[in-house]
Amino acid sequence: MAGVSRATVSYVINGLADGQIPISEETRRAVQAAVKELGYEPDARAQALRSGNTKTIGLIIPDIHNPHYWDFVDGTEQEARASGYHLLLSATTFNSKYAEDIFDGLAHRRIDGLILCGSFNIQSLKAQNALTQILNRQLPLVEMRDNYNLESDSVVSDYGAPTREVMTYLLSLQHRRIGVIYGVDEPSLAEDRQTAYENSLQRAGLPLDPSLFVQCGSSIEDGYQAALKLLGSRQRPTAVIAINDLLAMGVLRAAGDLGLKIPEDLSLVGYDNILMSNYLVPRLTTVSKDAVLAGREACKLVLERIQNPALPHRRREIPARLVIRESTGPNLGS
C-alpha cells in the first residue's frame, strides 16, 4: 500500500532509520500513513519465531489466595511492563499434580525467563526433572529462595534475625509458652525461622515443647483450625507466631471464637506485612517484607540475564524487619 517492499516497512517500523539504515523522509511518511490506515500491527508470533524471544516471562506462584503473592505479582508486572514484557502466570498448589504440566507448558512456549516464587514441590521427581531441563536450556531463572542450584539467580530474605528479634521481644513481654503455626507447604523453606525459634528458646533456658509447634496447610482455614487446636489445649500458649499474615488472620478468628482477647489474653505475630494486616482489629504485629520490591528485583534480575546470559550468578537480599503494632502485649497470665 505504501508502494515499498516489506523490508523497508520493517526498517521504518523498527526505527532502524535512525542512523543504521537511511530511509528517505517521504518513504517513511508513506509507510507510517499506511500503517495507521490499515491498523497494522506486527505479528508477535512471527517476531518471536524469527528473533527467538517471546518477550514473555513465566511467573509461578504457590498460592493464589495469599495476598502476599499478589504484592509480589504486582511488583513483577510493573517491572515487566516497563520493559515491554508480559507475564504468563501460573499458580501451583503444593502436591499439585499440575506442577509438571506447568513446567512443560512453559518450556513448550519458549518463555524468555522464569520466576519461581515460593515453594513448589521439588520433592516430586517429575517437577525436579522439568526444572533441571529448564536449567539445561539455559532459561534465565530467578528463585525466591536460596538457590536450589547454583545456576539460577535468587531473591531472598533472611528471616533468622527478625525471628530472633520476635522471640526476644515476646520473651521480654514475659511470654514463656510461645506457639508456632507452621503452615508452609514446603517445610524446608522456613527452616531458618524454625531454628531461630528453637535457638531462642534454648538460649532463654526454656523447654522445647513439640505440642507448641503446629504444622498445617497454608490456607486461612488451616490457620484457623491449627489455632483452634493449639489454643484449645490445657496449657495453651500466651503468644503465637504465625508463619504468615494470612494464617495469622485465621488465628485471630480462632482466638475470638475461644473468647481470647488479643493482645490481653494472647499475643500474635505474623510475617509478610500484607496490606490488610494494618487494618485488622487489632492491627497485626508482623515481620515486614516489601513483596512488591521483591517482585521488581526478581523481574529485574531475569531481564538483565535475558540481555546478558553470561552474567555471574546474583543474589539480592530483601530486608525483613519486625513491625510492632497492636496484636502483641505483655503476658498478663496468672
Partner DNA sequence: TTGTATGCGTTATCAT
Partner DNA sequence: ATGATAACGCATACAA
Give the nearest distance from C-beta 18 to DNA in angstroms: 12
From a copy of itself, DNA, none, interface partner of 250 (C-beta below 5 to 8 A by class): a copy of itself
Cβ(62)–Cβ(119) under 8 Å? yes
Footprint on residues 31-90 left by a copy of itself (CB under 8 A): 39, 41-46, 48-49, 54, 56, 64-65, 67, 70-71, 73-74, 77, 81, 84, 86-90
Closest CA to 212 of 193, 187, 237: 237
Question: Whole-number minimum distance, CB 55 to a copy of itself, in Å?
Answer: 8
**Interface map 166-205 toward a copy of itself (x if CB under 8 A):** ----------------------------------------
Q: Which of residues 123-142 bind a copy of itself (CB under 8 A)?
A: 133, 136
Q: Is 252 in the site for a copy of itself (CB under 8 A)?
A: yes
**Which residues, 204 to 223, sit near a copy of itself by CB under 8 A?**
220-221
- The one of a copy of itself, DNA, none whose footprint includes residue 5, by CB under 5 to 8 A per kind, is DNA
Residue 67 burial (CB count, 10 A) = 18
65 binds, among a copy of itself, DNA, none (CB under 5 to 8 A by kind): a copy of itself
Contacts of 301 (CB under 8 A, 6+ apart): 142, 153, 155, 314, 316
Give burial (CB, 10 Å; 0-12/13-18/19+) of 234: exposed
DSSP 239-291: EEEESSHHHHHHHHHHHHHTT--TTTT-EEEEEE--GGGGGSSSPPEEEEE-H
Q: What is the DSSP letter of 112?
A: S
Identify how many contiguous H helices and E strands the chain contains and give both numbers.
11, 12
Nearer to DNA, 2 or 255 (CB): 2
User: Which residues, in sequence order, are bridge partners of residue 91?
Assistant: 61
- Does position 259 interact with a copy of itself (CB under 8 A)? The reply is no
Q: How far apart are CA 40 and CA 27, in angstroms?
A: 17
CA distance 264 to 94: 36
Which residue, 110 or 314, is less far from a copy of itself as judged by CB? Answer: 110
For cell 511467573, name the residue. Answer: 59
> Which residues make up the interface to DNA (CB under 7 A)?
3-11, 13-14, 16, 21-24, 26-28, 40-43, 45-47, 49-51
- Pick one of a copy of itself, DNA, none as the site partner of residue 205 (Cβ within 5 to 8 A by kind): none
Among 208, 281, 324, 332, binds a copy of itself (CB under 8 A): 281
Q: Name the amino acid, one letter, at 261.
A: K
Identity of the amino acid at 198: E
97 or 109: whose CB is closer to DNA? 109
The DSSP H or E segment spanning 316 is strand 315-317
Picked from a copy of itself, DNA, none, the partner binding residue 81 (CB below 5 to 8 A depending on kind) is a copy of itself
Contact 256, 228 (CB under 8 A): no
- Give ∠ CA 192-194-199 in degrees, rounded to 5: 95
- Give the binding site for a copy of itself (CB under 8 A): 39, 41-46, 48-49, 54, 56, 64-65, 67, 70-71, 73-74, 77, 81, 84, 86-91, 98, 101, 104-105, 107-110, 133, 136, 220-221, 224, 246, 249-250, 252-253, 256, 275-276, 279-283
